[in-house]
Amino acid sequence: MRNGKAAARVDDLKIRRLARLILLFYATAYYLAPAILTFFFGAPLDQVLIASPNYLLGLIFAAFVTGLVYWVIGIIALPRLTSIAAVGRMMFDDRVLLGVSLLFLYISYIFWQELGLSYRQTGGRIGDTGFLVVILYILQNYLIAALLLLIARSAEDLRRAGPILGAALLLTLIGFFLSLQASSNIIVMAIAMLVGARLIGGREFLRPDAGRSSILTYILLGLVAATALFVGIANKRGVDETSYLLFNNIGEVVRILQTRISYHYYTASFHTSYNFTNFELGWRAVDEVWQNISHRVDVLLGNPTIFNEITSVKRLNYELTAYYFQERTGTAPGMVGGIFFFPLGILALPLIVLLYGAVLYMLASAVGSRLVSLFELAFLAMLFGGIIDASIDLVNLFDTPFTKLVFLLFAYALAREKVSLDDTSLTGGAAAPVAA
């Protein structure tokens, strides 16, 4: 019994360590790195957004929030959600995964034929494209959650799954390629390829040794980052112009990269400077999200409806910060800036920090106590941002962050059930309790 409890405690400590690493990766990519670039090379977003905020103040507040979340991860207690573990077991069964990936490939092919790479920038609203894009996003989020669980499996376990899982990974990879519309999809495709390589080769490719990532990890991470940057620029400027920039104006590419990773930092600095005591902004955001929900319900029911141009936190944040008007642009406020879009704003910080800590703990639990490479850490940080970056939009049942969170809940429940079974096998009886 003591051995079982000790092993469970060690696993839990590893999970908390991974959750903190995800947080630090996210904070470094979206706050620390942009801050360093801003202090040395200036702020490119000052040219297109409405005001130049106090960037030092934004960095201090971002560090404060990150520190609070880091601390909360060490004390937060989450239920195992065993009541939904059976659904998670069925949902993420390899045969179900194969069926979903086949459907995803079909939907992705239709998307590729009808909409294409620039859909997010030039395509119509989701409500105007029928159910195609809605189904596509749901399937994407399911497959991302499935990949999250697959990271936790050993190469030996993956290989035992055989052709079923291998086919599912191949279909997933092709589907994400055909429905490519965001740089984050490149990271998802890379993870699918990595899991597939472990399955085929039966080897733990890119598993860190004693917590250190191999040189190959950094090389591949760099290649994936470069490809993701190319896609991110191409879906706005086109493939031809992006190719020209890469080979003829690398300085402009670096400026674009700095701009792309600076939005969360700018938003945090802007709202810390100008909306720190604005307790009404969150209620306005709730009202916009409610209008979005009502509109989508009317679309589903076929009722007459008028589209409100804001209706999301991303759009509202853009309206507050942008100097130039663009019809379909939105800017996610990120982990720190999103705080101001919750009701009561900064006064709700304790609850918001608990939410962030819970999401991080669930992500780490789905992966388990296994060490992950820097390559996989980027994927986990991307998924964390995909859930929390739009803050109160998370309560919109028809938006992608909510779908991501639902699939994460089932993945977390399934992962914790497996831990309980492992504890039982160690103790020879009831599952050993885990301090969570």
75-95 pLDDT, tens digit per residue, is 888 888 888 999 999 999 999
Query: Between vectors from CA 372 to CA 368 and to CA 373, what angle results, nearest 5°?
Result: 170
Q: Who has greater pLDDT, 222 or 425?
A: 222
Q: Is residue 286 part of a domain?
A: no
Q: Is residue 91 part of a domain?
A: yes
| Confidence band for 408, pLDDT divided at 50, 70 and 90 | very high
Q: Who has greater pLDDT, 375 or 310?
A: 375
Segment 328-332 shows an average pLDDT of 75
pLDDT above 80 (res 114): no
Host H or E run for residue 26: helix 2-27
In 3D space, the residue among 336, 354, 391 whose CA is nearest the CA of residue 59 turns out to be 336
List, in sequence order, the alpha helices (H) in 279-373. 281-301, 313-321, 334-337, 349-367
Q: How many CB atoms are located within 10 Å of the residue 10 CB? A: 11
DSSP string computed for 378-392: HHHHHHHHHHHTTGG
Q: Is residue 283 part of a domain?
A: no
- Phi/psi of residue 119, nearest 5 degrees: -55, -45
CA distance 212 to 140: 30
Range of the domain at 81: 2-277+309-427
Please tell me the pTM assigned to this model. 0.86
Segment 27-32 shows an average pLDDT of 95
| Confidence band for 46, pLDDT divided at 50, 70 and 90 | confident
Q: Who has greater pLDDT, 436 or 331?
A: 331
| Confidence band for 209, pLDDT divided at 50, 70 and 90 | low
Q: Is residue 79 part of a domain?
A: yes
Query: Between vectors from CA 416 to CA 413 and to CA 421, what angle results, nearest 5°?
Result: 125
pLDDT above 60 (res 391): yes
Q: How many CB atoms are located within 10 Å of the residue 75 CB? A: 10
Query: Between vectors from CA 338 to CA 336 and to CA 343, what angle results, nearest 5°?
Result: 125
pLDDT above 50 (res 425): no
In 3D space, the residue among 86, 146, 98 whose CA is nearest the CA of residue 411 turns out to be 146
Domain total in the chain: 1
Per-residue confidence (pLDDT) for residue 350, from 0 to 100: 93
Q: Is residue 296 part of a domain?
A: no
Q: Is residue 298 part of a domain?
A: no
Q: Is residue 433 part of a domain?
A: no
> How high is the mean pLDDT of the chain?
81
Residue partners of 165: CB distance under 8 A and separation at least 6: 94, 97, 98, 150, 158, 199
Q: Is residue 299 part of a domain?
A: no
List, in sequence order, the alpha helices (H) in 182-262. 184-201, 215-237, 239-248, 250-261
Cβ atoms 314, 393 nearer than 8 A:
yes
- Phi/psi of residue 212, nearest 5 degrees: -105, 140
| Confidence band for 305, pLDDT divided at 50, 70 and 90 | low
Query: Between vectors from CA 75 to CA 74 and to CA 79, what angle results, nearest 5°?
Result: 110
Residue 51 Cα distances to 10, 160, 273, angstroms:
48, 57, 10
Helix/strand/coil for 322 = strand
Long-range contacts of 427-435 (CB under 8 A, 24+ apart): 427/1, 427/3, 427/4, 427/5, 429/1, 432/1, 432/4, 432/5, 432/7, 432/8, 433/5, 433/8, 434/8, 434/9, 434/11, 434/12, 435/9, 435/12, 435/77
List, in sequence order, the alpha helices (H) in 74-203. 85-91, 94-114, 119-122, 132-151, 155-161, 163-178, 184-201
